[in-house]
Amino acid sequence: MHEKGSQDRVVPVPNLLDYFRTSIECVISDQGVEVEPQATHYVVNLLTLFSRSEELYDDDGETFGLKPLALMLADAADAPSAADRSACLQRIGDVALFVSGFFADSLASHAVDLDYYIHMGGSAYGSLSEEVRGTFRGRAFARTYSELATKFQVLVDVLNEMRARERQESDVDLLRAYSVWRKTGSKRAENLLRQQGVVPLTTGSAIRRH
């Protein structure tokens, strides 16, 4: 019989929005990173939205799941209007941030890894910021999308730390942490390595222990 561990816990919360806001602000403060309040608010709303599977997964009546980012990008390129293209770009950024933030480890077994999601998501938000600039929507969101693009890696680290804390994870997969650091330059992955006595080298491919 499977024995439930901390990672299987279901923690009831009275308000999911407040829960995500408190969690993300705590991690941002602890990690000493700077993220504009508007971008933090956007991510909190995104997490709350995607907590409902029907908002995260695509359902065309025949298939149910996540469309590959490359196909989403193709949809953006073929979009019939600027509004449709913007919606596609936002979808790419949102999905890439959520997946790389909460399912980064699962990407190790996929054809595309975390660095691909970070590149696609950051680029999508950056393009979206330029697309809406000068429009009514842009006056409210262009700066936020630009911040999401610039701080995409930072936000991925924040979400990864949120996930680890919630699941009370203490074991560190050194090879995975090193792979993430090497591919993305993740400060969180670097700190995890250093906490385990591993010094990641900026040149060459070797790592050494103290």
107-152 pLDDT per residue, tens: 877 778 889 999 999 999 999 999 999 888 888 899 999 999 999 9
At 141 the pLDDT is 94
As given in the structure block, the two tokens for residue 182 are 């090497």
Give Cα separations from 194 to 99, 105, 136, 174, 199 (angstroms). 25, 19, 46, 10, 6
pLDDT, tens digit, 9 for 90 and up, residues 9-31? 545 666 889 989 999 999 999 99
The residue with greater pLDDT, 22 or 57, is 22
The pLDDT of 44-56, averaged and rounded, is 91
C-alpha closest to that of 120 among 132, 107, 109: 107
Question: Three-state DSSP class for 111?
Answer: coil
Is residue 181 within 8 Å of residue 193, measured between CB atoms?
A: yes
At 108 the pLDDT is 75
In the predicted model, what is the mean pLDDT of the chain?
83
pTM of the model: 0.78
At 50 the pLDDT is 92
- Give the integer Cα–Cα distance in Å for 10 and 47: 17
At 187 the pLDDT is 82
How far from each other are the two terminal CA atoms of the chain, in whole angstroms? 41
Comparing 47-51, 156-160, 173-177, 187-191, the range with the smallest average pLDDT is: 173-177
Asked if pLDDT for residue 174 goes beyond 80, the answer is no
At 3 the pLDDT is 41
Give Cα separations from 58 to 44, 98, 109, 112 (angstroms). 21, 15, 22, 20
At 96 the pLDDT is 96
At 170 the pLDDT is 57
- Give the integer Cα–Cα distance in Å for 65 and 99: 13
Q: State the DSSP string of 44-86.
A: HHHHHHHTSHHHHSEE-SS-EEPPPHHHHHHHHHT-SSHHHHH
pLDDT confidence bin for 7, thresholds 50/70/90: very low
At 202 the pLDDT is 65
At 204 the pLDDT is 44
Q: Which residues pair with 59 in a beta bridge?
A: 64
Asked if pLDDT for residue 153 goes beyond 80, the answer is yes
pLDDT confidence bin for 168, thresholds 50/70/90: low
